A and B are shown apart, each in its own frame.
Chain A
Amino acid sequence: MENNFFGEETAVILGMGELRVGTCPMGTIGLGSCIALILHDQRRSLAGLAHIMLPESHGNTDRPGKFADTAISVLLEEMEKFGSTKFSIAAIVVGGAKMFQFSADSLNIGERNAAVVKDLLQEQGIRIEYEEIGGKVGRSVYYWPEKKGRLIIKRADGTCIAL
């Protein structure tokens, strides 16, 4: 769907399983059980965003952004190429909602996604700067990597936060 939220041509909207590292504004639209993982290096105005769909890759490497384990390692790798170190990187984790009522657990992968992402970040020693996970509501996430970074989360219930 068309999205003019950024009002800037350089902005990138990432679909399911995609990841990107750069200095341009980035976002994901209609986040449900997936996780938007943002790694931000304030000193370099650099950020990486992954639209993570599932917790474990089980050795699948063709789309690193799709799985929590591969997404985190590839994001870090790419950011290190730009000179970032783990100590200069902070993380923002958004998503992992439980979308369906009256349903078996099979449709509620969100909780597991969130847990795995957080575990992996801890393992890597990356500080979580902000998180908004779980709940029953879809979200859109927009991020501007410049300087301290700017985050906007629009929730499906109409509420919106900006940081």
Chain B
Amino acid sequence: MELDAIQKDALAEFGNIGAAHAATTLSQMLMSPIEMTVPEVQAVDIAELHNYISNEISAVVVFQIQGEVADGGYIVVSMPRETVIQLTNRMLGTTDADREINEMDQSAAIEIGNIMISAFLDATAELLDIVMLPSPPALAIDMAHAAFESIIAQMAGDVNDVLIFNTELTSEAPPVYGGIYLLPNAELMQQLFLMLKRLMEPLP
């Protein structure tokens, strides 16, 4: 799959709006500023995925995209273990950073994922004037690449590449770091292209 410059731009803008809302929500929740990078959009061959997704132990929260775009693919929040512990500490007012992931961290990861992804899909769906809803979340605390494999296996039976939107969110205090990945399936992607093209057409 090759993306031309216009498609890349349009998708990056789409991701930008979603990620900006997700970052704002996270920032409100933490009551501290959150920085975000402009999304990178890449069509990645599944055989190359291990060059893009790290092997670091992370909390990977996955949602299926539902709504008007039935079975539209997946949207994922991935945060390294240290970040999850930081965020839980922040929300509970605890300070122990040198510990294993516990059940509280798992609920916190799911909750944070839920709030950020709802904001992401809300904003982007509004832009496109359709309904996009996240499914209930699924969580894996493991090597990020291992978790992504299971998602990709669901999507890439017939195709050999996936479209990855990657936005990084960072904050100084508390030091957190995470990424949002959007993995649209072929139909959703076609729909996205059509709708974005329509948006960019000059008014008559």
Residues of A whose CB lies within 8 Å of any CB of B are 1, 13-18, 29-34, 53-54, 60, 62-63, 66, 97, 99-104, 106-110, 136-140, 156
CB-CB under 8 A from A108, the residues of chain B are 150
The answer to whether A109 and B146 touch across the interface, beta carbons within 8 angstroms, is no
**Does B204 interact with chain A (Cβ within 8 Å)?**
no
Query: Is the Cβ of B140 less than 8 Å from the Cβ of A100?
Result: yes
B142 touches A99 (CB 8 A): yes
Q: What separation, in Å, do the CA atoms of A53 and B50 have in the docked complex?
A: 14
Inter-chain pairs besides A15-B49, A54-B153, A102-B138, 7 sampled, C-beta below 8 Å: A17-B47, A32-B140, A32-B145, A32-B146, A100-B147, A107-B151, A138-B142
Asked whether any CB of chain A lies closer than 8 Å to the CB of B51, the reply is yes
Q: Check A16 against B46 for contact (C-beta < 8 Å).
A: yes
Chain B 158-170: CB-based contact to A (< 8 A → 1; otherwise 0)? 1010000000000
Residues in B41-58 with C-beta less than 8 Å from chain A: 45-51, 53-55, 57
Task: State the main secondary structure of chain A at its contact with B.
Answer: loop
Contact A109 B154 (CB under 8 A): yes
Residues on B with C-beta less than 8 A from A29 are 50, 55, 143, 145
Q: B156 at the A/B interface (Cβ < 8 Å)?
A: yes
Contact of B51 among A1, A18, A54 (CB under 8 A): A1
B139 located at the interface, meaning its Cβ lies under 8 Å from any Cβ of chain A in the complex: yes
Q: Note all chain A residues with C-beta closer than 8 A to B49.
A: 15-16
Contacts of A63 in B (CB 8 A): 160
Chain B hits for A54, CB < 8 A: 153, 157
Using known A-B contacts A17-B46, A138-B146, A138-B147, determine if residue A102 contacts B160 with beta carbons closer than 8 Å: no
Q: Which of chain B's residues 106-154 have a Cβ closer than 8 Å to chain A?
A: 110, 136-140, 142-154
Whether B149 and A156, one on each chain, are in contact in the complex, defined by CB atoms closer than 8 angstroms, is: no
Cβ distance A72 to chain B, nearest Cβ, rounded Å: 18
How many chain-B residues does the 8 Å CB contact rule pick out? 35
When A30-B50, A32-B149, A63-B160 are in contact, do A107 and B154 touch as well, CB less than 8 Å?
Answer: yes
Give the residues in chain B near A107, CB-CB below 8 Å. Answer: 62, 138, 150-151, 154
Using known A-B contacts A1-B51, A33-B149, A60-B158, determine if residue A137 contacts B138 with beta carbons closer than 8 Å: no
Contact assessment for B153 and A109 in the assembled complex, using a CB-CB cutoff below 8 Å: yes
20 residue pairs A–B, Cβ–Cβ below 8 Å: A15-B47, A15-B48, A17-B47, A29-B145, A30-B146, A32-B148, A32-B149, A53-B149, A60-B158, A99-B140, A99-B142, A102-B110, A102-B139, A103-B62, A107-B62, A107-B150, A107-B154, A137-B142, A138-B147, A140-B55
Residues on B with C-beta less than 8 A from A60 are 158
What is the CA–CA distance of A154 and B118 in the complex, to the nearest angstrom?
35
Q: Which residues of A contact B138 (CB under 8 A)?
A: 100-104, 107
Which residue, of B49, B143, B148, B156, has the highest number of chain A Cβ atoms within 10 A?
A: B143
Residues of A within 8 A of B146 (CB): 30-32, 97, 99, 138-139, 156
CB pair A156–B47 under 8 Å, yes or no, is no
* A100: nearest chain-B partner, CB-CB: B138
CB-based contact A34/B137 at 8 Å? no
Cα–Cα distance between A49 and B57 once the two chains are bound (Å)? 25
Given A1-B55, A138-B146, the answer on whether A102 and B136 have CB atoms closer than 8 Å is yes
